[in-house]
Amino acid sequence: MVKIDADPEVCIGAGLCALRIPEVFDQDDDGTVILVRENPHPTYRAAVEEAVRSCPSGAIRLLD
């Protein structure tokens, strides 16, 4: 199972996660990260890992 944590207080609104995987991440009106799916299907794992690595503020993380 893939479980994600997103911290809107840390998010700078770069939007890389939402652009990369809109099925999992979105942004609110201020550009802050929102989780569309906190526990996405395991087929998203590689894409989520890449989104975590590319997040410039470290606002998202993968929980195992």
Q: pLDDT (tens digit, 9 = 90+) per residue, 13-36?
A: 999 999 999 999 999 999 999 999
Delineate the domains of the chain, giving CATH numbers in brackets: 3-63 (3.30.70.20)
Alpha-carbon gap, residue 55 to 49, rounded angstroms: 10
Residues 31 and 41: beta-carbon distance below 8 Å: no
What count of other Cβ atoms lies within 10 Å of the Cβ of residue 7? Answer: 13
**1 pLDDT tier (thresholds 50, 70, 90):** confident
Exposed / middle / buried, residue 47 (Cβ in 10 Å: 0-12, 13-18, 19+): middle
- Percent of the chain surpassing pLDDT 90: 95
**What pTM did the predictor assign?**
0.91
